[in-house]
């Protein structure tokens, strides 16, 4: 998606050579009109899969997932990183390794919101080593639901996650793929 590449060119910063900072439009401040366009693109890409629900991880996935859910007129569920007092009843859990924080955390989804028969579209902001999406896939499988694909705003194609997920049979659709980055810039697919 050219729009996504242009936005990255214009606004990204690069931290320690391998972390892309897109806080001006996606990870801190949200460019609402731009994110709604991303949602429409995911809706176009996955229309034929007829998803019944979107699943993402808090917090940076939520805005794009919301935009996609609004475009597809389906609910958006986000896996929580903390078992807060309003999490009740039976839950699904999965342990995920965080690329940006370099630690493990547990994601939680209340089972009443994900049921067998759901056709789930996974959405996230970044795909790097694939751990976040694999955690979501684990939760979808615990629920007896079906993952119909994954949409990510930015795939870092020089990391292994995309390859592994596609090899497992999952359809993965990035809106921009970065094939190389260093302290000075990024190279797209
Ligand atoms: P993975 O689990 O695929 O290794 O990493 C994906 C998760 O790590 C995303 O949910 C995202 O929050 C974070 N992440 C990975 N790489 C980057 C990056 O370059 N920039 C930012 N802002 N987040 C990233």
Q: What is the CATH number of the domain that holds 118?
A: 3.40.50.2020
CB 75 within 8 A of CB 69: yes
Mutation probe of ligand 1 site: the residue of 26, 100, 151 with most atoms within 8 A of C-beta: 100
Is the pLDDT confidence value at 85 over 80? no
88 contacts: CB under 8 Å, gap ≥ 6? 110
In this predicted structure, what is the pLDDT of residue 112?
A: 97
pLDDT for position 7: 97
Per-residue pLDDT band at 82 (split at 50, 70, 90): confident
45: pLDDT strictly greater than 90: yes
Look at residue 83 and tell me whether its pLDDT is greater than 80. no
pLDDT in tens, 147-159: 999 999 999 999 9
Which protein residues touch ligand 1 with a CB less than 6 Å away? 19-22, 27, 60, 99-100, 124-132, 156, 161
pLDDT of residue 189: 85
**pTM to 2 decimal places:** 0.97
| Contact of 109 with 138, CB cutoff 8 Å | no
In this prediction, residue 84 carries a pLDDT of 77
Average pLDDT over residues 90-110: 94
Cα-to-centroid distance, 165 and ligand 1 (Å): 15
What is the span of the domain harbouring residue 35?
2-83+90-188
Half-sphere exposure of 94 (CA within 13 A, CB side): 20
pLDDT at 87: 78
Looking at the 3D structure of the chain, how many domains does it have? 1
pLDDT for the residue 31: 98
Residue 188 is predicted with a pLDDT of 96
Cis peptide before 108 (omega within 30 of 0): no
> According to the model, what pLDDT value does residue 76 have?
98
């Amino acid at each position: 998606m050219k729009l996504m590449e242009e936005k990255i060119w214009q606004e990204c910063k690069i931290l320690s050579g391998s972390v892309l900072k897109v806080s001006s439009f996606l990870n801190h401040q949200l460019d609402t009109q731009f994110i709604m366009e991303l949602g429409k693109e995911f809706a176009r890409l996955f229309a034929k899969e007829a998803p019944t629900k979107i699943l993402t991880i808090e917090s940076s996935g939520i805005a794009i997932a919301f935009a996609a859910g609004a475009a597809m007129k389906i609910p958006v569920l986000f896996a929580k990183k903390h078992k807060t007092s309003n999490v009740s009843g039976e839950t699904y859990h999965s342990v995920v390794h965080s690329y940006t924080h370099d630690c493990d955390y547990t994601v939680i989804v209340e089972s009443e919101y994900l049921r067998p028969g759901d056709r789930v579209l996974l959405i996230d902001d970044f795909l790097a080593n694939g751990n976040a999406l694999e955690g979501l896939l684990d939760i979808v499988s615990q629920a007896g639901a079906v993952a119909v694909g994954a949409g990510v705003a930015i795939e870092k194609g020089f990391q292994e996650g995309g390859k592994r997920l596609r090899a497992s049979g999952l359809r993965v659709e990035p809106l921009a793929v970065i094939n190389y980055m260093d302290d000075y810039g990024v190279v797209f697919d």
